[in-house]
A and B are shown apart, each in its own frame.
Chain A
Amino acid sequence: MNLAYMPKKSKVDNLSLPEKSMINVKGLVKDFGKNRVIDGIDATVSAGEVVVLIGASGSGKSTFLRCLNGLETLTAGEILIDSVPLESKSSSLKRIRRQVGMVFQQFNLFPHLTVLENVIEAPVHVLNQKKDFAVKTARELLTKVGLLDKQNCYPGTLSGGQGQRVAIARALAMHPKIMLFDEPTSALDPELVGEVLTVMKQLAEDGMTMVVVTHEMGFAKEVADRVIFIDEGRIVEEGSPIQIFSNPQEKRTQTFLGRLSH
């Protein structure tokens, strides 16, 4: 099982290069009304790194993720995506969102469009790609997630696992530099979780920079380069999966992980 902790091939390559910071978060604070959900987070994610955020529900981990592509406005602090500051101005937001793909717990596929149309929608209308070209790319991506045969189906006919894989292909069609996953398997039946995690694992091996909020500790142990434990809107502890899962230093991390194993 320890084999899983071996650095992946792409990561070995990265070690020889200077670390390029893809996401840089400084002093992030987010309030919902009088409720402080994120209470001062500093974090850096390097290019090609897979970071898994864990924590109890309501800890602020999903809100943190949603701040990274501007779905939430920041109360205070700064976020740099590939050295470009995330501003609330819509033109700058649009530019950043093209580079940051997001996968949601509820998939959020467009129900009035076919699988193929879902995938080509943004490339055609945002990047102004020629339709033929976008379709070609989309078919390659659907092949990659194993759903080419579903290209003309409507999302309503897909299983949860298939829907989520289409959602991943849709996000990848924009050729993002970063992929954010917000509890991508939490809405799935247990037997469908594996097929989605397999696609995500493949993506990680291809060297994609990923930030993943998940309750799948197996995935975190196997795929993450770094695990961050968040509680009450703050980073309590972070480290390699082996540090966090085998030898957590903080009491709150120990309590959280202890509760999971019951």
Chain B
Amino acid sequence: MNLDFSIIPKYLPFLLQGAGLTIELAVLGIAFGILLGLVAALMKISHTPLRYIAHFYIWLIRGTPLLVQLFLIYFGLPQLGITLSAFASSVIGLGINSGAYLAEVFRGGIEAIPEGQTEASLSLGMGKFLTMRRIIFPQALRISIPSLGNQFIITLKDSSLCSVITMSDLLQTSQRFASRTFASLEFYTAAAVLYLLMTTVISALLRSLEWRLSREIRTRGN
């Protein structure tokens, strides 16, 4: 057996740098995704033709692989005169992709709020937009946080696909050193451990956020 982890510490700063880019891609990607998901969710529950656009978006994105979407954005769009950097392509790709899933998450959260909340708000003279912003959405967001956290973890892991469109993220950095030193098992294990570390920290942060935000809801019914 030929396994020597002592090679890792020397390259660790580079791996951590790659992990930094991975986090950056995931955070920007999910932020863009939250924005898109919110807009798509509102379009989907609206009783206007806009909902068909949201349906189409969700159908298209959920039905195709992320890697194909990234290829289309990075390699395909230049043919239409739209040239984006690898970083921009990655953030847009991850955002569009997570947005489609988050649209369903937010829609579910909004629809879970009882109709009486809207009626009470409207009968106080609050308009539809104010009702959504002040009454419905804050409650829907609390319900959505576990699924939102889940999507964040998925997006963080999916960001490894961006290595294929030249991003020097954690996976690509590991790959580079693995092929240079032939220590594949060591470097990919190190990558796996770092991914695991990041997702574990995110899970813990989200659990405490969920706990704090649900404080008042928790006291219901006792």
Question: Which of B29-37, B120-128, B154-162 interfaces with chain A?
Answer: B120-128
Residues 91 to 132 of chain B near chain A (Cβ within 8 Å): 114, 116-117, 119-128, 130
A28 interface hit (Cβ, 8 Å): no
Knowing A111-B216, A125-B134, the reply to whether A174 touches B116 (Cβ < 8 A) is: no
Is B124 within 8 A of A121, CB to CB? yes
Residues of B within 8 A of A110 (CB): 117, 120-121, 135, 139
Residues of B within 8 A of A125 (CB): 126, 130, 134
Knowing A106-B116, A108-B120, A125-B134, the reply to whether A156 touches B217 (Cβ < 8 A) is: yes
B220 to chain A, nearest CB (A): 3
Is B130 within 8 A of A126, CB to CB? yes
Taken together as a complex, chains A and B put the C-alpha atoms of A105 and B157 apart, in Å, by 48
A71-109: contact bitstring with B at CB < 8 Å (1 yes, 0 no)? 100000000000000000010011101101110101011
Is A156 within 8 A of B120, CB to CB? no
A90, A100, A104, A121: the one contacting B128 at CB < 8 Å is A90
Residue with the highest number of chain B CB atoms closer than 10 Å, among A69, A121, A125: A125
A165 interface hit (Cβ, 8 Å): no
Taken together as a complex, chains A and B put the C-alpha atoms of A93 and B128 apart, in Å, by 11
Knowing A106-B116, A156-B219, A156-B220, the reply to whether A112 touches B123 (Cβ < 8 A) is: no
Using CB atoms, name the residue of chain A closest to B116.
Answer: A108
A255 interface hit (Cβ, 8 Å): no
A107-123: contact bitstring with B at CB < 8 Å (1 yes, 0 no)? 01111101000000110
B49 interface hit (Cβ, 8 Å): no
A157 interface hit (Cβ, 8 Å): yes
Taken together as a complex, chains A and B put the C-alpha atoms of A28 and B24 apart, in Å, by 60
Taken together as a complex, chains A and B put the C-alpha atoms of A98 and B125 apart, in Å, by 5
Interface size on A, residues (CB 8 A): 31
B222 to chain A, nearest CB (A): 8
Residues of A within 8 A of B217 (CB): 111-112, 156
Is B142 within 8 A of A102, CB to CB? no
Is A121 within 8 A of B134, CB to CB? yes
Residues of B within 8 A of A71 (CB): 119, 122-123
Is A97 within 8 A of B116, CB to CB? no
Knowing A154-B219, A156-B216, the reply to whether A108 touches B125 (Cβ < 8 A) is: no
Residue with the highest number of chain B CB atoms closer than 10 Å, among A111, A126, A171: A111
A170 interface hit (Cβ, 8 Å): yes
Residues of A within 8 A of B116 (CB): 104, 106, 108
B138 interface hit (Cβ, 8 Å): yes
Taken together as a complex, chains A and B put the C-alpha atoms of A87 and B46 apart, in Å, by 22
Knowing A112-B216, A125-B130, the reply to whether A104 touches B138 (Cβ < 8 A) is: no
Residues of A within 8 A of B216 (CB): 111-112, 114, 154, 156
List 26 interface pairs A-B (beta carbons < 8 Å), by A numbering. A69-B123, A90-B128, A94-B125, A95-B125, A97-B124, A97-B125, A98-B125, A106-B116, A108-B114, A108-B116, A108-B119, A109-B120, A110-B120, A111-B217, A111-B220, A121-B126, A121-B134, A125-B126, A126-B126, A154-B219, A155-B220, A156-B221, A157-B219, A157-B222, A167-B120, A171-B124
Of all A-B residue pairs in the complex, the 6 with the closest CB atoms, nearest first, are: A156-B220, A108-B120, A98-B125, A154-B216, A122-B124, A108-B116
